[in-house]
Chains A and B, each alone.
Chain A
Amino acid sequence: MLAASTLVTLAFYVFGTNWWWAVLTDGYWGYGYLVLDAIVFALFVDIIVLQGIVTNAILGVIGAVVSVIPV
């Protein structure tokens, strides 16, 4: 899972970054890379080990909040 999350994060980092804009604006990921890696790893652990309990709870809270907001 750690290998998979690192490879996924690496793909986001390499292919999802506009490198020209990053060089111009100093918009590098820095420690954000590690944070994203940790989040993806936690997501994988939750889905595979905990069968998505935490993800389900988070999405449930978000759904409840969104449903309260009047359209």
Chain B
Amino acid sequence: MPDGRLSAGAIRRIAVAIKAVAIIGIVLFGGLAVVVATAPDAVERAARGYVSHRLHAEVAAIRAGSPAIAALIPDPNLAALYAVQLRALQQQASAAAEALLDKWLASLCKDACGDVAKARGLLHAAFSALPESTKTALGNLQAIGQGRFESIVDKLRHELTLISVANLAIFLFLLLVASIAREQRLVVLPAPCSPPRRW
């Protein structure tokens, strides 16, 4: 009658599977770590390709819902143009907002409140109270629009390095333990769950 414990053959097969997973992980993350460390250009190309692909998708989605934007971006290289348009639109919007702000303050503060700078400071403070993620996203979009990928690539490389090295260490540890352990069943399950020792 089965007692719920694994057979020696099953334990051996699981140990082999663990070794296989460890080797695959080492190859995968070791390769990734090597690429990140030695070929930053490849990381940058991948990041540019991904961002370009996503911008294409975003532009296609916008074009589908807005003929005006479709007219603004007739070129097939949509990502680059989108970035340029984004920057131009941002500058236009910024100038329009400044002009509107000036008009609004002028209409509000003709005589009663001459401290325009103070009012503007309050408004700038309100803008700075935007969520950090929104401000970061705006900054990164601006960097993409200006073709400045260094900051984005640096952060991506840092992340990839951290993840690949951490996983590499884990899989190396697994392979090491699975290789040098005297009894494979101790690798698979801790003593209370393993079959009784026979010696």
Contact = CB atoms under 8 A, between A and B. Distances in A.
Contacts of B192: 49
A19 B152 CA distance: 12
A37 B169 CA distance: 13
B141 A2 contact: no
Contacts of A19: 50
Interface residues of A, number: 22
Contacts of B170: 2, 6, 37
A20 interface: yes
B46 to A, nearest CB: 11
Contacts of B166: 33-34, 37
Contacts of B47: 23
Interface SS of chain B: helix
Nearest to A34: B166
Interface in B36-88: 47, 50-51, 54
B11 to A, nearest CB: 14
Task: Report which residue of A10, A13, A25 has the largest number of chain B beta carbons within 10 angstroms of its beta carbon.
Answer: A25
A3 B22 contact: yes
Contact of B193 (A7, A30, A49): A49
Interface of A: 2-3, 6-7, 10, 13, 19-20, 23-31, 33-34, 37, 48-49
Given A3-B22, A28-B158, 8 more contacts: A3-B21, A6-B167, A24-B136, A25-B133, A25-B140, A26-B155, A33-B162, A34-B166
